[in-house]
Amino acid sequence: MKQSFSELINSDTPLLVDFYADWCGPCKTMAPVIQDIAKETDGKMKVIKIDTDKNPAISQQYGIQGIPTFILFKKGKVLWRQSGAMPKNQMTNQIKAFL
């Protein structure tokens, strides 16, 4: 069963959303980093990718200006938000503080 975006972000399980676009170089750089973090935090958090070109309403709702933008949600609240590419260890450390 496919959950809606609002169902996903309102979950008790933290959800990391990667706002990206296919044409975005830094987004491509971050894709394997996000996959690694998803594997390492398996079960503690979910990870989804949202293509800003295909989902403009969600992108506008969260004021996505630059991509990639990462937002960590839990129970509908934004726990953490960061735009731009970053080293994996930096991202992991920031996210783990909320898990």
28-53 average pLDDT score: 94
Ordered DSSP codes for 34-45: HHHHHHHTBTTB
The verdict on residue 6 lying in a domain is: no
Active-site entry in 9, 15, 17, 24: 24
Which residue stretches of the chain are H helix? 5-9, 25-40, 56-61, 88-96
The verdict on residue 57 lying in a domain is: yes
Q: Annotated catalytic, 27?
A: yes
Which pair of tokens denotes residue 99? 């898990």
Q: In the chain, how many domains are there?
A: 1
| pTM for the whole structure | 0.94
Q: Identify whether the C-beta of residue 85 lies closer than 8 Å to the C-beta of residue 29.
A: yes
Q: Annotated catalytic, 24?
A: yes
Confidence band (pLDDT; 50, 70, 90) for 87?
very high
pLDDT in tens, 14-34: 999 999 999 999 999 999 999
Q: What is the pLDDT of residue 94?
A: 93
The verdict on residue 7 lying in a domain is: no
CATH code where residue 19 lies: 3.40.30.10
**Distant-in-sequence, close-in-space partners of 8: CB < 8 Å, separation ≥ 6:** 15, 46, 48, 73
Active-site entry in 15, 16, 17, 27: 27
